[in-house]
Structure 1
Amino acid sequence: MERIPLKPYNLLHTPSHRVPLPSLTPPDERKPKRQSRLTNESPNKRVKLTPQSASDVSEDSDSDYYESNDPEIDDLVVVRSQSRRHTQYGSRTNFIMSLPAMSRRILPSTHAILRSFVSSHKSDVFKCQSAAVDGYLTPPYACSYSHAAKNGGTPHLAVATEQGSIHILDTSKRVDWDVEPTRTTLQPHHNGIFNVKWNPFDTHLATCSGDQSTRITCVETGTITHVLQGHNSTVKCMAWDPRHSDLLASGGRDGAICLWDLRLGNKQDNDGLIVSSPVIKIPGAHEDSPSKGKSRPRKGKQPASRSVTNVLYSDADPYGIVSSGSFDGILRCWDLRVQTTSKRTRVAKHKIPTCIYSSAIDPTTLRGSRRPRGIISLTSGSGPTAGLLFGLGADSRIHTYAFPSLSPQPSEFADQSLQASSFYVGIAVSPCGKWLVSGSAGKEGKGFLFDVSNAYRPSHAREGAGVGFKGQVGEVGAVDWAQGMLATCADDGTVRVWRPDVEVYNHCVEKPEESKWDWSWST
């Protein structure tokens, strides 16, 4: 009988998760997890090792943050995070937010790292000298690290003071008693500055002041390039559009949100400064909409305006801006894609942006108190907390919101010693997205660190497990992060830099009386 030759077996038609492919080249040691899945092995659950030094604290890839019982989801996260940053969902943040909550990996606790933050009395303290002849130090009201500092570059910190000055500090680690690097001092205002932010390219600084203006200052030359006037009271907050260096938004105690375009509406005042008016203004951004039949207050009995305390651009929505107010814990998202109407008039008029999302529930009223509390400070998450917003409420609790719905989440963070009854207390999320630092009112001079990496899972968020650290006197207000360090500002006129150092921390715990002359550490 004639033998019929068989066709060679085609491995390309065999599912890769069932039959292993022949290895013609040595295995790639850089991708052991991916190869183990292709060879149908059952690897142990991935566990991220706890970093032991400041150099290990960095933003990780998406594959370090998420894991589920479905290998297709895990493989999708690994492949997309290693191959490209932008996905079919629009961006890395949108893709992470699109994953189901159960697929987000439970990260191990990092409280041991938070407890190891220390600050040297000799090289980590910066003083804010007073501009007045009869003064020595002045309280810092706001601070902000540059974008380069958050990405591992030179840690330049802009500190704004009560007297309208800005000190740009280099907070790089130095040897004890070394001379402080030369700082740059600017004077954009002659009134208190309540917020300072770097533009996306770190070339200009925007400052909000009690003189009812926001000013743009060139860092290199120290000259004021723009004066933004449109608020009728103190300007409390501002934010740059991360996608366009000429666009920004501001909010004030008059309850209004102003949108600015530095290319439009410019004129010179008597001092030769370029003065700009807002392109769009949202009055009463957090006021209740008037309802039919509701009586208006009598003349002379007008209620006080509900201040806008924070404005925030989101990475997930290029056309929206989130705001918070001083009256309650309701967040609102505004659609900036407005249209102009000029059919009947020659002058084009902009429609007021529409509130497209708002929090359905006020989380500040869920702890047995019917009285709403405002949001003092607002910040957005990244990495494992991408898609979340954290708001420090006047009820001394840190509330969690989901974007874009702005719905409050079950995860809350608090400490029995944390006080948030002050206008100046702030919060900030670390560049890696795992940690959150909060200031605190009162005379103790304490700050608090929280592990928020599992905020998506309330059962693992560890409510109330804050790490307190003390090294200053008076209220600790402004705070911010750079890669591997954080800065805190206090009423005693000082700025302190804190870094994780397990060796120094262990020495301080073992010999506290000897170490207290050189270091401050967690309490």
Structure 2
Amino acid sequence: MPAESSRRSPLADISQRPLSSRTQQIASSQTCAGTGEENNVPSRRLLEIFSAAQAGSAGRKRSLKLALDDSDSSTQKHILNAINTTSGIISSINCKTQPPSNLCTKSTVPSRSFRSNRPQGMTSTLARIQTFGRRRCQPCYVSTRFLLLDYISRPSDVYTFISQDGSTLVPPFSCAYNNVANDARYLAVGDEDGAIHIVNTKKDDSHPASTTQILAHQNAIFDLCWTRDDSKIVSVSGDQTARLHDVETKKCLGTFSGHSGSIKSISMKQSDDNIFATAARDGNVMIWDVRCSSTASPRGDISYRPADRLINVHTSTRRAAPTKKTKHGSDGANTASAVQYMLHNDNILASTGSLDGSIKFWDVRNHGSYFRHTFPTPIQASKYTPITKRAHGMTSMALSPDGVSLFAVSSDNHIYMYNTTALDSPIQSFGGSGFACSSYYIKISVSPDGRYIAAGSSKDLYVWEIARPHKKPFIFQGPEREVTGVDWARDLGQGTELSGCSDDATVRTWKANRDLVQECNETNSLRNMHGMVTELSV
């Protein structure tokens, strides 16, 4: 029909159209008087070249050029001239039919192609990333920071714990989500009295009556972690011991003794739950293995000795300025405040201290080579450039899910990011906007998707977007006093959770609930009852 033919592309089927006068001259000059099949080869190849030019395939044209190597030079000359002529015609047609570059439909994203200013579609962008890499197609970073504004902490998301005698509320110091069971919604909380509380955050009003409680230590629990199968919990305490507990039976499976100061941090080996490391105020880092170095008492209690130890890992030989006093007191100049196993190489252990402000890498395969020296030498050490005259130290470390970045929070009110494969100076820092690391109890945690980092503060909980450090942080409101331990839920199913321990004797959990956030924004009285999230302006 005429209407259908008018809508067809000018080069829809060039092989079925009559040749122009110029093309007929080229074809006739290369054919003989006979009509045999061998005499029509140049004409057939010319039609194939036109079809390849229509598809815009430069590789096809090159392959056809190589296929004509056995033809005479005059044939190649005329065919290549036809290629150039046809390519110019197609380019001019495409320029007339393409829409202006300043038009952008709803199905496109503001990413640009390598050689054009035209916006690309989302599917095209992702395909080019897989084919050519990010540097070639230059895609834009898609931020999800606006989703954090949907987080809110309801009154039922606030948990309190009572002392053993039932007279007072006990402040929590540390918290950790489990890994796999129950959609990673079990939160273990260590309090000042040495008890571990396991809360199911999926249930409302899950308070002490329905909370699993383990009497673990005789002093405050400063850090704890789950095994990969969530069957056991390892906790460290101010009573200078670490202990392994069975979650189901609530029994202590072993006590790890060897430190002469309060244990501040624990890190499980990434590939083996039988091995973990601890850092303490005595300045030592110890490595423990539950498969060896154990003794049993007449009552059946199992005690473990350290499998390896690093002595004075962050002791400075120079006299430093005194550390700032806080309401909690201060850690000594010899304190090893945090320890972390690496992911890219689980034989490398990172440590940091409360004085020198540096991070050090240790190769744990050098068994026995460290504790023979009073001041052991690490395999790598970060460069510390103090921003003030007073010495500052690190209080906590956290590893990104991919193991590429290591974060450490400093008492100079900044969080520093390091490259784990080339430990040197910090590659990025986060801080400002009222964030204050006011004590050595403040910890940090990286979200499961690796996009955000959360940290406790002198008041409220702060969250930064890692890819946009120039942006000011989000403030998760609700706590009335200092926030110490923080942790993200491990799953990303219905939106992950974020929890924080506060000195107001509460543990508060923030969850995504857009409808409730909108309702609170419309009613001030309702807003004051919930822990909201605010985004500071730049």
TM-score of the superposed pair, with normalisation by structure 2: 0.70
Q: 1:397 maps to which residue?
A: 414
Q: 1:504 maps to which residue?
A: 516
The 1-side partners of 2:187 and 2:347 are apart by 29
Q: Is residue 446 of structure 1 aligned with residue 460 of structure 2? A: yes
Task: Note the residue ranges of structure 2 that are not aligned, 5 or more in a row.
Answer: 1-33, 49-55, 62-107, 320-330
Task: Note the residue ranges of structure 1 that are not aligned, 5 or more in a row.
Answer: 10-14, 21-31, 49-62, 75-99, 295-302, 342-348, 455-459
Distance 1:73 1:507, change over 3 A: same
1:218 CA drift (Å): 0.9
Q: Tell me, what secondary structure is at the counterpart of 2:379?
A: strand
Q: Of the candidates 480, 491, 500, which is equivalent to residue 503 of structure 2?
A: 491
Distance 1:18 1:415, change over 3 A: farther
Q: How does 1:98-177 map to 2 (within 5 A)?
A: 106-121=140-155, 123-133=156-166, 135-148=167-180, 153-172=183-202, 174=204
Q: Tell me, what secondary structure is at the counterpart of 2:439?
A: coil
Give the partner amino acid of 2:469. A
Deviation string 1:235-261 (CA, Å, 9 cap, x unpaired) is: 111111120111110010000000111
Q: 1:379 maps to which residue?
A: 398
Deviation string 1:458-488 (CA, Å, 9 cap, x unpaired) is: xx4225x011122122211111001311111
1:108 CA drift (Å): 3.2
Distance 1:261 1:105, change over 3 A: farther
The 2-side partners of 1:266 and 1:212 are apart by 17
The 2-side partners of 1:259 and 1:436 are apart by 27
1:497 CA drift (Å): 0.8
Deviation string 1:291-331 (CA, Å, 9 cap, x unpaired) is: xxx9xxxxxxxx95521111111111121011111003210
Deviation string 1:9-45 (CA, Å, 9 cap, x unpaired) is: 9xxxxx999569xxxxxxxxxxx99xxx9xxxx9716
The 2-side partners of 1:520 and 1:305 are apart by 37
1:439 CA drift (Å): 0.9
Q: Is residue 310 of structure 1 aligned with residue 342 of structure 2? A: no
The 2-side partners of 1:47 and 1:500 are apart by 28
Q: 1:44 maps to which residue?
A: 120
Q: Is residue 72 of structure 1 aligned with residue 132 of structure 2? A: yes
Q: Tell me, what secondary structure is at the counterpart of 1:503?
A: helix
Give the partner amino acid of 1:362. Y
Give the partner amino acid of 2:413. S
1:350 CA drift (Å): 8.1
1:494 CA drift (Å): 1.2
1:179 CA drift (Å): 8.1
The 2-side partners of 1:380 and 1:435 are apart by 12
1:136 CA drift (Å): 2.6
Distance 1:479 1:106, change over 3 A: farther
Identify the range of structure 1 (157-166 vs 484-493) with the bigger mean alpha-carbon deviation.
484-493
Verify the 8 A CA contact 1:328 1:374 in the aligned structure 2: yes
Distance 1:272 1:461, change over 3 A: same
CA RMSD of aligned residues (A): 3.9
The 2-side partners of 1:104 and 1:213 are apart by 52
1:159 CA drift (Å): 0.2
Q: 2:384 maps to which residue?
A: 362
1:115 CA drift (Å): 2.6
1:220 CA drift (Å): 1.3
Verify the 8 A CA contact 2:177 2:184 in the aligned structure 1: no
The 2-side partners of 1:340 and 1:394 are apart by 33
Which structure shows the bigger proportion of residues in helix conformation? 2
Distance 1:411 1:404, change over 3 A: same
Deviation string 1:64-87 (CA, Å, 9 cap, x unpaired) is: 8x987x95335xxxxxxxxxxxxx
1:496 CA drift (Å): 0.9
Q: 2:525 maps to which residue?
A: 513
Deviation string 1:270-295 (CA, Å, 9 cap, x unpaired) is: 542111110111000112479xxx9x
Q: How does 1:7-46 map to 2 (within 5 A)?
A: 44=120, 46=122
The 2-side partners of 1:43 and 1:120 are apart by 43
Which protein, 1 or 2, shows the higher relative CO under an 8 Å CA cutoff with sep ≥ 6?
1
The 2-side partners of 1:522 and 1:147 are apart by 26
The 2-side partners of 1:479 and 1:313 are apart by 19
1:178 CA drift (Å): 8.3
Computing the radius of gyration from Cα coordinates, the structure with the larger value is 2
Distance 1:46 1:381, change over 3 A: farther
The 2-side partners of 1:178 and 1:191 are apart by 25
The 2-side partners of 1:130 and 1:159 are apart by 14
Distance 1:180 1:113, change over 3 A: farther
Q: How does 1:454-493 map to 2 (within 5 A)?
A: 454=467, 460-463=468-471, 465-482=472-489, 483=491, 484-493=496-505
Q: 1:86 maps to which residue?
A: none
Q: Tell me, what secondary structure is at the counterpart of 1:505?
A: helix
The 2-side partners of 1:142 and 1:340 are apart by 32
Give the partner amino acid of 1:372. A
The 1-side partners of 2:429 and 2:128 are apart by 23
Give the partner amino acid of 1:172. K
The 2-side partners of 1:198 and 1:178 are apart by 20
1:435 CA drift (Å): 1.2
Deviation string 1:104-156 (CA, Å, 9 cap, x unpaired) is: 965233332223221111x21111121134x231000110001126xx81401
Q: How does 1:314-333 map to 2 (within 5 A)?
A: 314-333=342-361
The 2-side partners of 1:514 and 1:281 are apart by 54
Q: Tell me, what secondary structure is at the counterpart of 1:246?
A: strand
Identify the range of structure 1 (252-261 vs 496-505) with the bigger mean alpha-carbon deviation.
496-505
Verify the 8 A CA contact 1:200 1:240 in the aligned structure 2: no
Give the partner amino acid of 2:157. D
Distance 1:333 1:165, change over 3 A: same
Verify the 8 A CA contact 1:254 1:305 in the aligned structure 2: no
Indicate the percent of aligned positions where both proteins have the same amino acid: 26
Distance 1:103 1:446, change over 3 A: farther
Q: How does 1:200-279 map to 2 (within 5 A)?
A: 200-269=228-297, 271-279=299-307
1:356 CA drift (Å): 1.0
1:103 CA drift (Å): 9.4
